[in-house]
Structure 1
Amino acid sequence: MASEKGAQVLSEGQFCELDDANGPFTADAGDRTAQVLIFSGRWGTELGGCGVFNAIPSTPIASKGDPVSYPKSTNFDSHFHDCDEYWVIIEGGGTVVVGSHSFEVEAGDCVAIGMGHHHDLPQIKNELKAAYFETTLEGKKRFGHLWEHKHGPADVRADRV
């Protein structure tokens, strides 16, 4: 990533903040291919996190996540966050569950997950790769995957799905 003020080398899953005052920005992958995702908005300083995750078809093991009643073919855990979260599916596809809603996703889809809503990736068609971005921590401001049986009840915001 480069601007008039300098350059920064980024590896997969890394991020940097882009300040309009330092733009315009360019991305150069040399002779390789690169994907750049830009999440734009206004957030506080205490972000939940961001990065890239992969999921592969596997025989589910006893999950540390919250129990579910639907079939699973991944080790992805049912969990919630003290912030909103967004997923952008980069490769692959599968079934996503958010609250009581289940839907299919594929490369290019964006999944918006409201604070406190349980979410899971129980089924995938093939290896799936996605970027995630967790916004400003709210409520108890707990980091990471949260489970009711370990961390207590989710603070579900009714205005967020």
Structure 2
Amino acid sequence: MPVYGPGRWLNPGDRPEWCEVATAGRFTVPVDGGRFDRHYHDDHEIWFVAEGKGRILVDGAERYTQAGDVVLIRAGDLHDVVEVYETLRGFFVETGHPSGGRVGHLHRDPSDAAGHEVPARPLPADFPGR
């Protein structure tokens, strides 16, 4: 069984034959110099937020997220990390490509492919559990 450590993601080119997951790996958006790109996928994606706090765009709305959250993202929905309050670390899984599905981050606007700086801000007063 392959082990996918830091800097190595599971992807269609190196996953076991029995595995239907399209891709899986870790992500980090630090409070100092973090970057992310607004994108979508041809398949569904699941994030597990392991550490940190931030605001994300998913399902057409901005929402707070924090350690312990599971974020479900439908195929075709744009998603993004809008701002962070603490370094955000997590794990993602793309559930499996439909026939003809494309791998990786897909962009509706070519300028989104370059990514953007994710601003670090103080924790908002309305953040859950503050």
Q: Which TM bucket (shorter chain)?
A: 0.5 to 0.7
| Match for residue 22 of structure 2 among 48, 61, 69 | 48
| Corresponding position of 1:136 | 96
4+ residue segments displaced more than 4 Å: 7-10, 12-16
Write the deviation string for residues 6-35 of structure 1: whole angstroms up to 9, x where unpaired: x9766457789xxxxxxxxxxxxxxxxxxx
State the TM-score, normalized to the length of structure 1: 0.55
CA spacing shift, 1:10–1:75, aligned 2, 3 Å: closer
Identity of aligned residues (%): 30
What is the aligned length?
A: 103
Q: Is the 8 A contact 2:9 2:23 kept in 1?
A: no
| Corresponding position of 1:70 | none
Tell me, in whole angstroms, the C-alpha distance in 2 between the residues paired with 1:75 and 1:15.
18
2:122 paired with 1:148: no
2:28 paired with 1:57: no
Write the deviation string for residues 56-107 of structure 1: whole angstroms up to 9, x where unpaired: 1356xxxxxxxxxxxxxx4211000000000000000100101421110110
Over the aligned positions, Cα root-mean-square deviation in angstroms equals 2.7
| Corresponding position of 1:76 | 36
Higher relative contact order (CA 8 A, sep 6+): 2
2:73 paired with 1:113: yes
Instruction: Specify every segment of 5 or more residues in structure 2 that has no aligned partner in the other structure, as ranges.
Output: 11-17, 111-130
Name the SS for the 1:82 alignment partner: coil
Instruction: Specify every segment of 5 or more residues in structure 1 that has no aligned partner in the other structure, as ranges.
Output: 1-6, 17-43, 60-73, 151-161
Q: Is the 8 A contact 1:82 1:140 kept in 2?
A: no
